[in-house]
Amino acid sequence: MDFVLLGPPGCGKGTQAIIFKNKYGFFHMSAGDMLRDVVKSGSKIGQEIGEIIDRGDIVKDALISSMVGDAIRKISPEQAVFFDGYPRSIRQAEDLDLMLSVLNREISKVFYFDMTEQGLIERIQGRMICPKCKAVYHEKFYPPKADGSCQCCGHPSLLKRNDDDVTILKKRLHVFEENTRPIVEYYKQQGRLVVVQSNQPIENVTIELESFIALTKN
């Protein structure tokens, strides 16, 4: 069983993906992490992607689908996947279905994390990320250890992302509405969409996801 986590930036997709990775062994397929790793490489394509991310724009479908496809083929058939940050367009959703079908995999459910713009602003302003294991924290809602270190891997310090800025967030929300919102209807028509109210406590969202996944297994 594989699942897609959909929703605007800052809604808590990555946090839940990390929780399920650590608790149940899910594979966390983070398109954002893959792209940021390419940026860190310092290559020409990495520089171009870095500029796109900093502007809050969306990376070309063919490029990100190719990267995700390469990663999927390396995952054990028995390991469930949370796709986080991909797909972000109808074309990418179609690419994903095709890539999975070749491997006898499929998307069981698509969880849409619904949240108000003000809630998203509050989330991204306090968001912190572990540079080693990619665990996501929040100063108010999901704080790290008292000394500021990562609860998951013990890394001594956390970072704030360059694109965790209110101005960039609003640009990313515009891009989300234009490119990604149509996917919500796409999956709804297929009967695979589940709406999750992500403005509730993190542990409540986890319980809700666990319930839907358990029903899917049965």
| Domain layout of the chain by residue ranges | 2-202
Catalytic residue among 88, 105, 109, 123: 88
Q: What is the pLDDT of residue 91?
A: 92
Catalytic residue among 21, 105, 123, 172: 172
Catalytic residue among 91, 161, 170, 171: 161
Q: Is the peptide bond before 87 cis (omega within 30 degrees of 0)?
A: yes
**Would you state the torsion angle of the CA atoms of residues 125, 163, 168, 209, taken in this order, to the nearest 10 degrees?**
-70
Instruction: Look at residues 124, 145, 40, 68 and name the one whose alpha carbon lies nearest to residue 59.
Output: 68
Q: What is the pLDDT of residue 149?
A: 93
Bridge partners (DSSP) of residue 142 are 138
Q: Which CATH class is domain 2-202?
A: alpha beta
Catalytic residue among 109, 123, 127, 134: 127
Is 123 an active-site residue?
no
Segment-wise mean pLDDT, segments of 10 residues, the chain, 218 residues? 91 91 93 85 83 79 88 93 92 94 95 89 86 88 89 91 79 81 92 93 94 84
Instruction: Look at residues 198, 210, 217 and name the one whose alpha carbon lies nearest to residue 10.
Output: 198
Instruction: Report the C-alpha gap between 84 and 28 in whole angstroms.
Output: 7
Q: What is the pLDDT of residue 218?
A: 62
Is 44 an active-site residue?
no
Catalytic residue among 13, 105, 109, 134: 13
Q: Give the predicted TM-score (pTM) of the model.
A: 0.79
Is 181 an active-site residue?
no
pLDDT 10s digits, 150-198: 988 999 999 988 777 778 878 888 888 887 788 999 999 999 999 999 9
Q: What is the pLDDT of residue 113?
A: 95
